[in-house]
Amino acid sequence: MERILLCKPRMTGHEIDYIKAALAEDWATPLGPDCDAFEAVLADFAGHGCHVAALCSGTAAVHLALVACGVSRGDEVMVQSFTFCASSHPVTYTGAQPVFVDSEPQSWNMDPELLDKAIADRVNKTGRKPKAIIPVALYGMPYRIDRIMEVAAKWDIPVIEDAAEGFGSCFNGQMLGTFGQFGVLSFNGNKMITTSGGGALLCHSAEDRRRIMWYATQARDSYPYYQHSAIGYNYRMSNISACIGRAQMEILPEYLAHHRHVQKLYMEQLADVPGLTMHTNPWPEADSNFWLCTAVLDPTMNVRGQEEAYNKVVTGAVGGAAGVIRQTESAITDCQPNTNVEALRVALDKAGIESRPLWKPMHRQPVYAEAPAYVNGVSDALFRTGICLPAGPYVTDDHVRYITDCIKAAIF
Ligand SMILES: Cc1ncc(COP(=O)(O)O)c(C=O)c1O
């Protein structure tokens, strides 16, 4: 059987038609009519009067949202700690300092009460308000956006929603990314839809979108020559990438339904496994896209091969991760998933199934050792006990049966 990946991109077959039409008209350009059309279809899907700026990545979208919020050297930005590094790294690109906020146990996302206390403490300690708040829809799960918006309104701080993993997820029927001042989407190869690499920023006014695109296209002033009154970036989406996105948008509703179906199958088939708990919508308002399906393992649960976990140094990237990985000499760090989680990952890997521990919280990353963090133990505990399971459009009902059988066979 072909290896089952966490979320492998799947083409509709129409991508090539859009690309051929674009190439026939020589639209192998940065920006272009397919970018315009892709933005229009995204705006229509998001609703709520959103304007969309198509960009080269979700990371670029986070960065430009920060720039547009006026974040610069010496500022602080409140960021959900339990996330992928692209939520917080762009804060450092601006010279500002990320201040990490832990999660609440229901959604695993930013804890609004802790956020409120953390802001009060930052104001007390620094005499200045943080410049932005970044909650993250982890694995697609909605954050408690109603309470986060209340805290943001109380302190008058803009919210940048990192919905890179949460495209199509809703809170109270409203799509994530449309509540805050800006909403980040990613079309990386492993996301709900792909443009092979790309992202978008949801904005609430044409003026905000225009400002974002100004920064995304090197911030040029209106002279016959290139004159710059601000530092800009080359963060445009390529027109050919947008062709892929246009075709992918045709199938998005089907993919959303499929991810939710796969989640339902896992829930049914793993319901009777003692010590394993699937993560699911915690409130009636939450409607996750279940980008990845996730579970936590009780520390007392026994998994075959547990005694060998972390015995060997990992070489290269675990799973399907691309890119260059710095080789380390040690198999362990001071904060890592429990041995039963690592043993399950290895057992699934041997069975041809990609799985992954949950994101290691940013306040535990060596690179952020000096960053202020407001923690409550929730993300630490989730990191030690959690695992992500495959959920993409290529995952069939038979695959889920095979994966859940492998999980059951691995535990004793
Ligand atoms: C939470 C989160 N934020 C931001 C990003 C950045 O998106 P991209 O890979 O398109 O730069 C990703 C994914 O890669 C993500 O998972």
Pairing relationship of beta strands 174-175 and 170-171 according to DSSP bridges: antiparallel
Q: Does residue 195 have its Cβ closer than 6 Å to ligand 1?
A: no
Q: Does residue 136 have its Cβ closer than 6 Å to ligand 1?
A: yes
Q: How far is the CA of 164 from the centre of ligand 1 (A)?
A: 5
Q: Does residue 248 have its Cβ closer than 6 Å to ligand 1?
A: no
Q: How far is the CA of 56 from the centre of ligand 1 (A)?
A: 11
CA-based diameter of the chain, in Å? 73
Q: Does residue 162 have its Cβ closer than 6 Å to ligand 1?
A: yes
Ligand 1 atom with least separation from CA of 86:
4
Q: What is the pLDDT of residues 226-242, one digit of tens each?
A: 999 999 999 999 999 99
Its CATH class, for the domain covering 15-250, is alpha beta
Distance CA 230, CA 210 (A): 15
Q: Does residue 164 have its Cβ closer than 6 Å to ligand 1?
A: yes
Question: If one looks up domain 252-410 in CATH, what number appears?
Answer: 3.90.1150.10
Q: Give this prediction's pTM.
A: 0.97
Specify the pLDDT at position 268: 98
Query: What DSSP assignment string belongs to 276-306?
Result: EEE----STTEE---SSEEEEE-TT--BTTG
**Plot region of 325 (φ>0 → left; ψ -120 to 50 → alpha; else → beta):** beta
Residues in the chain predicted with pLDDT less than 70, given as ranges, are 318-321
Q: Does residue 193 have its Cβ closer than 6 Å to ligand 1?
A: no
Specify the pLDDT at position 324: 87
Domain ranges of the chain: 15-250, 252-410
Q: How far is the CA of 316 from the centre of ligand 1 (A)?
A: 21
Distance CA 178, CA 43 (A): 10
List Cβ neighbours of 224 (8 Å cut-off, separation of 6 or more). Answer: none
Give strand pairing partners of 183: 161, 202
Specify the pLDDT at position 321: 63
Specify the pLDDT at position 319: 59
Q: Name the token pair of 93.
A: 């690109």
Q: Does residue 59 have its Cβ closer than 6 Å to ligand 1?
A: yes
Pairing relationship of beta strands 286-287 and 199-203 according to DSSP bridges: unpaired
Specify the pLDDT at position 314: 85
Distance CA 146, CA 231 (A): 34
